[in-house]
Amino acid sequence: MIEVRGLKKQFEGKEVLKGVDLEIYDNETLVILGPSGQGKTVMIKSMIRLMEPDGGEIYFDGEDIRKLNRRELEDFRKKIAYVFQNSALFDFLDVRENLALFLRMHKKLKEDEIEEKIVKALSFVGLNDDVLDKYPEELSGGMKKRVAIARAMIKEPKYIFYDEPTTGLDKKNAELVSNLIMVLKEKVSATSIIVTHDIELMEKVSDRVALLKDGKIIFIGKKEEISDETLEYLYSIGDTYEV
């Protein structure tokens, strides 16, 4: 379980997160929904200390991760996977090495065992082993996203964070990624936290939804409980942040 209390973050004196409170239950898919520029990415990066928050408490399974030292934080992140909006594959590594990196660094596996896990993960996301020797620049946007999801799967994480997973994808690839998110949750029994502005994605994959506007959670609950008026207010023009 994740508990966030009074999470704050500002840039150059401008408050982006204004005391966010949130509870995320084990094995659920929580979608944090809101238009672009409302602090969604800042929020999840702050939750795992990819950005250092300015205030608040963050508990994973009862442990306050703001109190972890560097080595403890590295150990904590081994049970987390983060699928970046731009996929964040290493340009200087081919697909095989992008997927193998975590296994080489943190698992004592033989090369044939690593290869087996890589091929299995690629198959899961609908890619063949003919992409193993390709570099990220040779992949389409949809393929990059699928490789990024395969990389998350290989970690067998307890928590998976997705940053705008369908942004920049055509309808076919967006639907594919939505399906992968649901199947991956069951495959690795992970808690999934998704930030998105994509209402269709929210409707398809969410167990619960948190609406973020102007740095605050204005609603949390089941998608069926969200009124049209609330969505209209959520997407009305307000403060935006380029972070």
Instruction: Locate 186 and state its tokens.
Output: 């069951």
At which residue do the structure tokens 């990059």 appear? 144
Domain that holds residue 97: 90-156
Domain assignment present for residue 85? The answer is no
Domain count, the chain: 2
Judge if 181 and 233 occupy the same domain. yes
Q: What is the pLDDT of residues 9-63, one digit of tens each?
A: 999 888 999 999 999 999 999 999 998 888 899 999 999 999 999 999 999 999 9
Amino acid code (one letter) for 169: L
Instruction: Locate 115 and state its tokens.
Output: 């290869």
Instruction: Single out the residue of 150, 158, 156, 161 nearest to residue 99, CA to CA.
Output: 150
Asked whether residue 211 carries a pLDDT value surpassing 50, the answer given is yes
Rounded Cα–Cα distance for residues 174 and 145 (Å): 10
Q: What is the pLDDT of residues 155-178, one digit of tens each?
A: 889 999 999 999 888 898 899 899
Domain assignment present for residue 14? The answer is yes
Judge if 39 and 129 occupy the same domain. no
Last residue of a domain, one of 141, 156, 171: 156
Judge if 52 and 124 occupy the same domain. no
The per-residue pLDDT of the chain, averaged, comes to: 91
Judge if 64 and 15 occupy the same domain. yes
Domain assignment present for residue 228? The answer is yes
Instruction: Single out the residue of 1, 110, 109 nearest to residue 65, CA to CA.
Output: 1
Asked whether residue 240 carries a pLDDT value surpassing 70, the answer given is no
